[in-house]
């Protein structure tokens, strides 16, 4: 059993690098009532072999949902801006695609649903990210009762992952094959 966060993270990144292209989460997301009813969804623009979110962003915008996308600050905190459409995003830090207008770090608190990136989750809701702490800070601003999901592949759900006291839990794993509630 791999026990350190760094070792688990490296193993998961290596496994993702072997993927030729990421599968999307559009079909699984639009099949859920929470996505259909959410007025504003905080999401992210996927990169490389991450579970693909581009189709979901386009579908949400076409259905008159608002989509908040992250803006990575120099201190690794996240601001949020409304998605105008993929063609209107600008290059951000670390090669990320970001909205032009920053609504601030507190804008995530206005979302009805948050779908965040992760390398893995466990069945208790522990989310393993890339290690910068950006999403743990952002998720601390999400009001109680707002669903928080992590987009991962089906094979990235574990019985147990290492965690730290500052780690923010998620309520479900959104995979290409469906939504899996976590306890």
Q: Which residues are annotated as a binding site for substrate?
A: 45, 50
Are the C-beta atoms of residues 119 and 12 closer than 8 Å to each other?
A: yes
Are the C-beta atoms of residues 100 and 88 closer than 8 Å to each other?
A: yes
Are the C-beta atoms of residues 150 and 117 closer than 8 Å to each other?
A: yes
Q: Which residues contact 135 (CB under 8 A, 6 or more apart)?
A: 78, 116, 117, 127, 129, 168
For the annotated binding site, the residues are: 5-9, 45, 50, 127-135
For the annotated binding site for ATP, the residues are: 5-9, 127-135
């Amino acid at each position: 059993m791999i026990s350190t966060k760094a070792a688990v993270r490296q193993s998961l990144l290596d496994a993702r690098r072997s993927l030729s292209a990421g599968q999307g989460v559009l079909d699984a997301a639009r099949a859920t009532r929470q996505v259909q009813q959410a007025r504003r969804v905080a999401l992210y623009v996927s990169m490389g072999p991450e579970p693909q979110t581009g189709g979901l962003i386009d579908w949400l915008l076409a259905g008159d949902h608002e989509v908040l996308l992250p803006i990575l600050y120099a201190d690794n905190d996240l601001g949020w801006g409304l998605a105008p459409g993929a063609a209107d995003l600008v290059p951000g830090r670390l090669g990320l695609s970001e909205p032009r207008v920053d609504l601030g770090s507190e804008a995530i608190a206005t979302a009805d649903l948050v779908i965040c990136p992760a390398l893995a989750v466990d069945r208790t809701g522990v989310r393993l990210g890339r290690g910068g702490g950006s999403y743990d800070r952002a998720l601390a601003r999400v009001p109680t009762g707002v669903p928080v999901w992590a987009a991962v592949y089906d094979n990235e759900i574990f019985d147990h992952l290492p965690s730290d006291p500052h780690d923010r839990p998620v309520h479900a794993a959104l995979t290409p094959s469906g939504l899996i509630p976590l306890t």
